[in-house]
Chain A
Amino acid sequence: MTFMLKRRTLARLGFGAGAVLAAPGLARAQGGFPERVVEVVTHAGVGGGTDITARMMMVQAPSEFKQEFVVVNRTAGSGAQALQYLASKPADGHTIILVTQTHLLTQIRNRNVPQFSELVPLVRATDDPQLVLVRRESPFRTAADLVAAGKQRSLRFGGTHVGGVDHIAIFSFGRAAGMQQPTLVPFRGGGEIVINLVGGNTDSALVNPAEAEAQLRSGEVRPLLALSEKRLAGFPDLPTAKEAGIDCVASTVRGFCVLRGTPEDRVARLEQGLLRAMSGPIFKTYLENTGQSPDSVVGRAAWGAQLQAFHESGREALQALGLLR
């Protein structure tokens, strides 16, 4: 233990000295990147879905990079503290952040945290599309039934807190379908959302397939639409919203970013290495077992575009909901 502590302190000192001496010295050592432990900072507490994603990625990353990876949990402020932690570290690629849509909404609502433009996307780890669900006894047999009813009255949708990712998705879905603005019934997490849907306390909900796995299999809830670009492998008969003429996609995404200013070759090295680590059997099995597609893992081009798109639509939705001052 003492030995490890010493080694780590030495490494840190060594790095400090290197930075002071000269930047070219660093460039020469480039072949050795990462030269010390890579920190993965997440806003999720230990054991949360996002935290588990980070830990699953890390099973194979160390052998890929020949370096240890550690998770740093900075939970406060819906991602604010995780972003601040990232910004407090040098932009040298040794600190990467696990970003979700929550971070983007926090950035939009809180100008005091490092903004979206400060982040450089690396890779996406998971992309979990949402389904529009109703309970078994619901009078809505098809998406058209749901939309028709939604034009008559404001339907109650279960989701997470007001101004959160689910709220944005529900709002966007309602607007794309031409419904009256749905009423959000806020709950703490997917489990409660599903239970209250089955229990008849809400009319509908947007849920990731894995969150309602048991209820989908036993038929207690019925999916009406998939909010994905293409039909889902697990639900080949389920139409997408786009097929039904509703221009709306919504999914829970998680991926990695580094701070702006990180040298380009390091960004490329991290991108390629993380892509390879997450193409290994352990992460693949994890995706498969949680009902997510293996093509969740994509490089920075696609991941960056998706973040950019959500950054814009999220801002617009928050403004329309009157939650942005």
Chain B
Amino acid sequence: MEGFLGGLAILVDPWVMFMVFLGTVLGIFVGALPGISGSTTIALMLPMTIAMGPIPAICFLGAIYCAANFGGSITAIMVNAPGDPSASATALEGYKMAEKGQAGLALGMSAVSSAIGGIFSIFVLIIAAPLLARAAYSFGPPEYFALAVFGLSMCAAIGGDSAVKNLIAAALGVLIATVGMDLTTGVERFAFGIDELADGIKFVPVLIGLFAVGEMLDQVVRRAEKAKIIAMDAARVPGMAEFRKCNRSIWIGSGIGTFIGALPALGATTAALIGYNETRRWSKHKEEFGKGSIEGVAGPEAANNAAVGGSMVPTLALGIPGSATTAIILAALIVQGVRPGPHLFTEQPTLLYAVFASMLAANLFYLALGLYMAKFFARISLVPPAILWPFVFVLSIIGAYGPDQSMGDVVIMLVAGVVGFLFRRTGFSPAPLIMGLVLGGKMEETLKQSLIIFGDDVSMFATRPIAMALLSITAIGLFWPLIARFWRMLGVQR
């Protein structure tokens, strides 16, 4: 209790609050720019925080982390360029909304659902972190494999014109995921002796290309059409009616995001994609998905921000980071002489609650900033395409080059852009491709790891209850239409 109050005391410490505010503004900014991710920023800021002392340093870095995840949604919605890979699911519906002139609605909903997801996960962290951390130990390769199958099982339903096209796109994504060094054989696949391909194809250039450059090329082709100037409705922010509609999506996203974030091997991007799937599955307005569904923004945004709090669970309670960003935050903690682990909760509760309190504050800051600035950002959609898109193109190139300072990534981005353009012209959607890319690689890797652990005996999966439960849910989900029809037939006969 003393630790709890001591931690909350930072909320009235002007210096710490200033650092949190600074971190939030910086986080939104770098999050919104494709290519400068929260993790890069935190790594670059790390040496500067050494002199600050543990609490301001961690609060500052934590605030960047929280806000960057939200910031990614701004460019995803406005120009279809996810500022952060975790915002790619947001781009699917958010950009469609912006095209319909509902940019303000999408941005506002993104801010609100992000904040709710983030705050929800922080409360879970406060109450159940040590408990939830135990779950990480029960998740080995077989369980991750089952989870990846669950996530991929929805890929036929989301995105393009038809299930067949979605499956083709998903298969292409899985194929791309196989490029590079195979963990279990140490052999490079489909690398053709090119160093840039030896480590596999990274998400960021593919995402930027598929979404932003693909859209730009599409705009070029449509240039002949008269540009429609959308009325000022663009600046409208969501009201009670929208919240009521998205209520369910936000909670689904928050729950899924917190759980997936807490699993060390999966991160915000997976959380957002599965959050998107499940939002759609449980939505009453399925027909709106793919055409700019506000629920499709709320669900994944809640999920990827909840994953932030979730990913702090293994980082703080086990000393094992759940993402690239938390790996650097962990390094920052260690450099400050803080030893994460189960004992952190008993030995240094003040510091722990200070971290929670600062993340809470960061979420509230970006909620306020996000809602306030939504009207301002929404006006980007009023910029004439001839000015906007060349600018986006420059941003895309910087974004692909930035993370690894690699021209190879720029080439990959451009190729992905052409693919994205062809997809748009032929009724394919990038959504299943991304699911295949993100989850397919994970699925293959964990299956191989499982088989090594099981001594190549597939039947050993039956000895893993969590994996079997997940596979069963997947099977029920896949065969539900058949089961439902069978049920109705029985009913008719009776």
Seen from chain A, the residues whose Cβ lies within 8 Å of a Cβ on chain B are 45-49, 51-52, 55-56, 58-59, 72-78, 80-81, 84, 156, 161-164, 167, 183-188, 191-192, 194-196, 198-202, 210, 213-215, 217-218, 282, 285-286, 289-290, 323
Contact = CB atoms under 8 A, between A and B. Distances in A.
B320 A45 contact: no
A196 B186 contact: no
Given A78-B199, A199-B137, A47 B331 contact: yes
Contact of B324 (A47, A72, A214): A47
B405 interface: yes
B330 to A, nearest CB: 9
Nearest to A186: B183
Interface in B290-342: 314, 318-321, 324-325, 327-328, 331, 334-337, 339-342
- Residue of A51, A58, A214 with most chain B CB atoms under a 10 A cut-off: A214
A156 B334 contact: no
A199 B50 CA distance: 35
A289 B337 CA distance: 6
A179 B247 CA distance: 59
Given A76-B196, A186-B184, A195-B139, 18 more contacts: A47-B46, A47-B325, A47-B331, A58-B47, A73-B404, A77-B198, A78-B198, A162-B185, A162-B186, A164-B186, A187-B183, A188-B183, A195-B264, A213-B340, A215-B341, A217-B343, A286-B335, A289-B335
Given A185-B449, A192-B264, A195-B136, A161 B186 contact: yes
A201 B141 CA distance: 8
B452 interface: yes
B2 interface: no
B331 A213 contact: no
A56 B184 CA distance: 33
Contact of B46 (A52, A194, A196): A52
B137 A76 contact: no
B199 A77 contact: yes
Contacts of A215: 318-319, 341
B50 A59 contact: yes
Contacts of A323: 186
A289 B50 CA distance: 13
A73 B335 contact: no
Given A80-B198, A195-B264, A47 B335 contact: no
B194 to A, nearest CB: 9
Interface in B36-68: 39-40, 42-44, 46-47, 50
B138 A289 contact: no
Contact of A45 (B181, B336, B341, B404): B404
A218 B334 contact: no
A283 to B, nearest CB: 11
Contacts of B140: 195-196, 199-201
B3 interface: no
A156 B184 CA distance: 13
B195 interface: yes
A81 B195 CA distance: 7
Contacts of B137: 195, 198-199
B265 interface: yes
Interface residues of B, number: 54
B6 interface: no
Contact of A214 (B42, B46, B50, B341): B341
Nearest to B43: A47
Contacts of B199: 75-78
A218 B452 contact: no
Nearest to B39: A47
B40 A46 contact: yes
A47 B42 contact: yes
A74 B328 CA distance: 19
Contact of B195 (A51, A55, A76, A196): A76
Contacts of B44: 46
B238 interface: no
Given A56-B47, A185-B449, A199 B138 contact: yes
A186 B451 CA distance: 11
Nearest to A213: B319
A197 B318 CA distance: 13
Contact of B181 (A51, A58, A161, A289): A161
Interface string B171-214: 00000000001111110000000011011000000000000000
B400 to A, nearest CB: 14
Nearest to B339: A213
Nearest to A196: B140
A69 to B, nearest CB: 11
Given A47-B324, A214-B339, A80 B195 contact: yes
A72 B406 CA distance: 11
A185 B141 CA distance: 10
B65 to A, nearest CB: 12
B403 interface: yes
A185 B142 CA distance: 13
B277 to A, nearest CB: 24
Return the 8 tightest CB-CB contacts between A and B, nearest first: A214-B341, A163-B186, A214-B319, A162-B186, A47-B43, A77-B195, A191-B320, A47-B328
B342 A162 contact: no
A202 B342 contact: no
A59 B50 CA distance: 10
A192 B403 contact: no
B349 interface: no
User: Interface centre among B42, B184, B403, B453, by most A CB within 10 Å?
Assistant: B453
Contacts of A56: 47, 335
B200 to A, nearest CB: 10
Nearest to B333: A289
B458 to A, nearest CB: 16
A46 B43 contact: yes
A231 to B, nearest CB: 22
Given A196-B140, A289-B334, A214 B318 contact: yes
Contacts of B42: 47
B320 A218 contact: no
Given A75-B404, A75-B406, A191 B321 contact: yes
A201 B453 CA distance: 6
B404 A195 contact: no
B136 A290 contact: no
A89 to B, nearest CB: 15
Contact of A156 (B138, B264, B452): B452
A198 B44 CA distance: 33
Nearest to A81: B195
Interface string B254-288: 00000000001100000000000000000000000
Contact of B343 (A84, A167, A218): A218
Nearest to A80: B195
A196 to B, nearest CB: 5
- Counting chain B CB atoms within 10 Å of each CB, which of A58, A167, A200 scores highest? A200
Contacts of B331: 47, 49, 52
A212 to B, nearest CB: 8
A153 to B, nearest CB: 10
5 contacts: A45-B403, A51-B43, A75-B199, A76-B198, A195-B140
A195 B47 contact: no
